[in-house]
Structure 1
Amino acid sequence: MSMHVQTKSRRLTGLDATRALAILGMFAAHIFDLFALDNSGILSPTFTGATANGRASVLFMVLAGVSLTLFARSLQRKGLSRKASVGVLVRRALVIAVLGLLIGPVNESIANILVHYGLLFLLLIPALYLPARALWVLSVFWLVIAPLAWRPLAAAEAAQSLGHNPTFTDFAHPGLLLADLLVTGYYPLLIWIGFGLLGVAVGKLPLSQKKTVAWMGAGAVVIAALSLLIGWLKILPWITAVGTVAGIPRSQIFTAMVTGRSPSGNLDRFLSESSYIWLPTAHSGSMIFTIHAAACALALLAILLLVTPHLGYAGALLAAAGRAPLTLYIGHLVLLPLLQVGLSAWVQWWTLCVLMLLAALILHHSGKAGPLEAGVRYLSVLPTDEKNSDPK
């Protein structure tokens, strides 16, 4: 969902296409049920609940790091000093966070990611100036260790949650707001910073080189598969305990362990158990799912980087949609409450897809940025930046 500035010749269409796919994943996770009764009356995860849920948002955060790195590089190419570049990045991060605070109350049925996204941009700025090798070590360390540190904090501070999307009135309770943003909210930054760090590390790779991207994708696929397998193998002996502690009937446990919830509730009460770290569960914040979701994001990015240039006009449209992520994301937040009045989930889905296609057609043929992307660019890149550029 980044709004980085690059010329057409330097844009990675695969990156834009991956961002568009993440948007579609968000659409699905916000429209379709995560679980349903099958023909035999057994509760099972839906396709959305088993795939997009918990992974689309992680993909957004990883892409945030990648795009931030590329944007910072574009500022350097324009001749801006480090001080001027940091100023642009800080303003951009704050504009996105403020936009998130404004739009949050519009649709409380969806956990708005924009405030966390803007804050992530802000927190990642120092990482841009670290060596690539140090970044890889730091990101892997963070993705493994942060969930272990988060779990006891989340269990102890479970009641310290806003219960709604962050907005300006929450500054009246700064401690509660901070706890929600870092630990107890839907996107706890204590963990999610790791996804951004991984993205910054990936952004330093030569992503235009097919061999590098192929190796990254192959490694990511292996890690994604192994982590999910290990998670299930490690948690199987605890299935009865999970149900007992979380208060979920055995018939619903599998669904709850895949999607993070069931008709009887979620797995939050299991946080106090050490085996929580092995839950292969979306949005759980467990160590194993954090690693798995990060690997899924890299695998999907690698696939799209390799495939999109060969998709012709379809690939160009997908990439064009990915250049207006902020517009599409906020647009669907505003439209969904209206579409959900009397319309089926599939009608909502196809309506958003058609609107996304129309936006892609306009952006592709006009060569312009989305309206909100242009607005963020205007507010963050000020004329004074050029005066602070390095002398030529």
Structure 2
Amino acid sequence: MTSQETAPPRKARGGGTISSRLTGVDAARGAALLGMMSTHLLPTFGPSPSWEPTFVGLVFSGRSAALFAVLAGIGLALSTGKQEPRHGSDLAAARGGVAMRALVIAVVGLTLGGLDVNVAIILVHYAVLFLCILPFLGLRLRALCFWALGWVLASPVLAYLIRPLLLDTTPPLQLGHNPNAEDLGTPGRLLADLFFTGYYPVFQWISYLLIGLVIGRLALTRTTVQVLLLTGGIIAAAVTKAAGFLAMEAWGGRAALETLPGIRGYPLESMLQVNLTGLEQTGSWWWLATASPHAGTTLDLLHSSGTAAAVVGFFLLLGKAAERIKVNFLIVLSGPGAMTLSLYSAHVWVVSGFTNQPLPAGWTEEGMYWTQALCAVVIGVCFTLLRRRGPLEWVAHAASRLGSYRPAAVG
């Protein structure tokens, strides 16, 4: 959730610098931040008894978080050699820097996990994903493609087989809350939740970072690559979502799942469109045929990765247009996108102050969201214009430099 890309800057009217790579990727990250905030503050389901999905639930649920993860892989690719991965001591230094950055993110995540907040905080999972992806940082594009495809196909099946074993223990190896420092005392339960039984199962989510590495190893400054990401992402997202819809509605998947015990709360039809949070997804192989947000299935991973690729391609094209006319109109998104760790953490802290409390007189959920979104944009733009890192980005950068330090050879 921190910007790691580097690219030669160019001065622009409208403030900041322009690079079709840096600005486009950071703008996509800013869009992901605002989308994720919307799912935290705005309803994703309509009122009872219908519980119809809302616009926010249909558009942003699951996709914003997946975009963050794909962008993490892109950032790692750009910071470890772009099209040609580093090797030898340079690769070892890069891995050390990533590991230290992950440590900072984990500490922030565990600290936020101690807050009373009705938000599924992603930071600890994000940090573990950084550590899990270290062995892949030295791979070239072809090898990464094979690994990404294999992981997308195999990890959901393995997770489906492993998850019931973890949930059937006494007590179940599932936290039921955001990871916090106290959970370090039960490492088995914590790791099981992070990798398999939690809200962002790392085991399947490694797919997003691998796909991000694949995208980041492409020649992202080329217009043909940007158009390919946009069109290919749209096609992949549409095909996989259509396949999931057919499996559930035309071939009997939803009818079979509705007969299972434990299908309570929101109507399954609505949950399949918004997310499957709260459902254990055990007892039927039909679970693997859904393309629902947060399902962690092959279709879900491909659909959300497709939407992420399309978003990245779109903003890279906009970044190229901004570079051509020398007006950085993307700064409203690339500004907050360059300091998402600080802004996301501040957002969670602010939300915790209103958890289980009535909103101030005259405030609405929509007003709360737009106020926080506007603050995020203004703060991000100001830091960009001042050429400053966000406070937590500064800490993460310092940790990364420390981790990547290698003393010069003597003699």
Whether these two folds match at TM > 0.5 is yes
8 Å contact kept, 2:97–2:403: no
Residue in 2 that maps onto 1:275: 286
Uncovered stretches (5+) of structure 1, i.e. residues with no partner: none
For structure 2, list consecutive stretches of 5 or more residues without a partner in the other structure.
10-18
The equivalent position to 1:325 in structure 2, one of 340, 343, 367, is 340
Equivalent residues in 2 for 1:1-392, closer than 5 Å: 1-4=1-4, 6-7=6-7, 9=9, 11-37=21-47, 42-73=50-81, 81-158=90-167, 159-236=172-249, 237-246=252-261, 248=263, 252-260=267-275, 266-268=278-280, 270-310=281-321, 312-339=327-354, 341-342=358-359, 343-382=363-402, 385=405, 387-388=407-408
Q: CA 1:184/1:390 → structure 2, altered by over 3 Å: closer, same or farther?
A: farther
In 2, are the aligned partners of 1:317 and 1:364 still within 8 Å (CA)? Answer: no
Which stretch shows the higher mean deviation, 18-27 or 351-360?
A: 351-360
Q: CA separation of 1:253/1:344 partners in 2, compared to 1, >3 Å: closer, same or farther?
A: same
Q: Taking structure 1 as reference, are residues 29 and 383 closer, same or farther at Cα in structure 2, changes over 3 Å only?
A: closer
CA distance in 2, matches of 1:288, 1:275: 12
Does structure 1 conserve the Cα–Cα contact (< 8 Å) formed by 2:100 and 2:403?
no
- Partners of 1:383 and 1:139 lie apart in 2 by 27
What secondary structure, in the 3-state scheme, does the structure 2 residue paired with 1:289 have? helix
Moved more, 357-366 or 111-120: 357-366
Identity of aligned residues (%): 30
Distance (Å, rounded) in 1 between the aligned partners of 2:350 and 2:155: 35
Q: Using the alignment, how far apart are the partners of 1:379 and 1:191 within structure 2?
A: 27
Q: Deviations over 1:147-194 (max 9, x none)?
A: 111112223323310111112221221211111111101111110011
Greater per-residue helix proportion: 1
Aligned-partner residue type, residue 54 of structure 1: G
Partner Cα separation in structure 1 for residue 89 and residue 228 of structure 2: 33
Instruction: Indicate how the Cα distance of structure 1 residues 5 and 110 shifts in structure 2: closer, same or farther if over 3 A, else same.
Output: same
TM-score norm. by structure 1 comes to 0.90
Q: Tell me the distance in 2 between the aligned counterparts of 1:249 and 1:191.
A: 25
Pairs aligned (count): 384
Deviates more, 1:248-257 or 1:44-53: 248-257
The runs of 4+ residues in structure 1 deviating greater than 6 Å are none
Matched-pair contact (CA < 8 Å) for 2:80–2:91: no
- Do 1:94 and 1:122's aligned partners in 2 also have CA atoms closer than 8 Å? no
Between 1:327-336 and 1:64-73, the stretch displaced more is 64-73
Alpha-carbon RMSD across the aligned residues, in angstroms, is 2.7
User: Hey, what's the Cα distance between the residues in 1 that align with 2:140 and 2:385?
Assistant: 39
In 2, the alpha carbon distance for the partners of 1:7 and 1:299 equals 22
Are the aligned partners of 2:45 and 2:57 in contact in 1 as well (CA < 8 Å)?
yes
Q: Which amino acid aligns with 2:309?
A: L
Q: Residue 62 of structure 1: CA displacement?
A: 0.6
